[in-house]
Every structure is written in C-alpha cells, then in structure tokens.
C-alpha cells in the first residue's frame, strides 16, 4: 500500500482554532456540570487532543477536568488477526462512576475504535454519560456510532486515509488526506 498526499485540510493555526471550538462545545453541553467531566483520550491520536482540551477547558472555566488515556488494542474486534499487537498503557486514575466521560479521538471513521473504547470503559465503571468528541469526522461508518462533538466533518471515500499530525513544534501540525494506492509488482 502506498499513500499519496492528496490534500492538507488543516494546518497548525486552524487545528488550534478547532480544538478551542471543540472545548467550547463540550463546556456549553456541560453547563452546570463541568465539575463532573472526565476526559478520556484514545491512545495514538486522541491522547494528545485530550491533553490539549483539558488545558483549554481549564483556561476557560477555571476547572481542571480529570484526564485519562486508554489503549483499546486488546478490545479490538480484529485483535486475533494482529501478528504482534503493541499494547500501550491505559491510565485511568480515579473513578468514572457517575462522571460525564468525554471520549476523545482524532478521527472518527468506521466506529470500531469507539466501540472498543466503550467496551473498555465498562470495565472501569458506570459513567453517568459518555460523549464522543473528535477533531475530524470523515464519515463512512460501519457501526451506528456518531460524534457528539466534531470540530470538522470532512467527507472522504474508502480509498482515502485521514491523518492528524500533532507535534511539539506546533508549526508542523496538520491534517492530511491521503489517497491509498496499491503497490505495483
């Protein structure tokens, strides 16, 4: 498989604006209950976004929500087909029971990652509610899962891939659509 860069849809300044907009949507939805927020990022994409959203929510409201990071590898429906799954740490320090959990990922596509994350979360307790926040919703769902908060909706085709590149050097950040091409023998 070869990825050919097709289009850059967001760069650093626009990513920052969209993260602020996402945080504002979450705050607006949780009027009067921001103290119950528990942000949980899905590792390898949603984790850095969750950290940034926590900072923005703290800056805007003065309240610092709890933060967790989860790795859904062992909850994937295709885990048995993976040759050597690389499992990262799940870091949930605190009680999710009765909390409003905002599950955070970079790109929403088939819905399978979110389904796995929901399965994992039930092992940690029973939140009052679970909401889904994503930077990019690219459509093409395979499961009946929708984002409650999406910064951008970018329709794509199955022959494309969306990558979010976040970096310590924020000037290099971007969201890119790639065309997937088969290798020629």
**Domains, the chain:** 13-156 (3.40.50.2020)
The 8-class DSSP code of residue 91 comes to B
Q: What is the average pLDDT value for the chain, to the nearest integer?
A: 94
Mean local confidence (pLDDT), 73-98: 84
Q: Tell me, what's the pLDDT at 185?
A: 67
CA 150/CA 76 separation, integer angstroms: 23
What's residue 78's pLDDT? 79
Report the pLDDT value the prediction gives residue 170, as an integer from 0 to 100. 83
Q: Give the separation between CA 52 and CA 96, rounded to whole angstroms.
A: 20
Q: Model's pTM, two decimal places?
A: 0.93
- Structure tokens of 154? 């970018």
Mean pLDDT to the nearest integer, 70-95: 84
The two structure tokens encoding residue 126: 């029973």
Separation of alpha carbons 34 and 19, rounded Å: 17
């Amino acid at each position: 498989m070869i990825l050919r860069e097709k289009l850059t849809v967001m760069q650093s300044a626009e990513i920052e604006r969209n993260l602020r907009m996402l945080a504002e949507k979450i705050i607006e939805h949780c009027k009067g209950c921001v103290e119950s927020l528990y942000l949980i990022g899905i590792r390898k994409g949603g984790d850095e976004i969750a950290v940034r959203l926590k900072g923005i929510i703290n800056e805007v409201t003065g309240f610092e929500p709890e933060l967790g990071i989860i790795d859904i590898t062992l909850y994937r429906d295709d885990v048995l087909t993976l040759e050597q799954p690389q499992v990262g740490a799940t870091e949930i320090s605190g009680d999710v029971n009765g909390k409003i959990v905002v599950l955070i990922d970079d790109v929403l596509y088939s819905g399978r990652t979110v389904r796995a994350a929901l399965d994992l979360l039930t092992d940690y307790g029973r939140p009052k509610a679970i909401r889904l926040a994503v930077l990019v919703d690219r459509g093409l769902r395979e499961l009946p899962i929708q984002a409650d908060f999406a910064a951008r909706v970018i329709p794509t085709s199955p022959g494309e891939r969306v990558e979010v590149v976040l970096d310590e050097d924020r000037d290099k950040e971007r969201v890119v659509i790639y065309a997937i091409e088969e290798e020629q023998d």
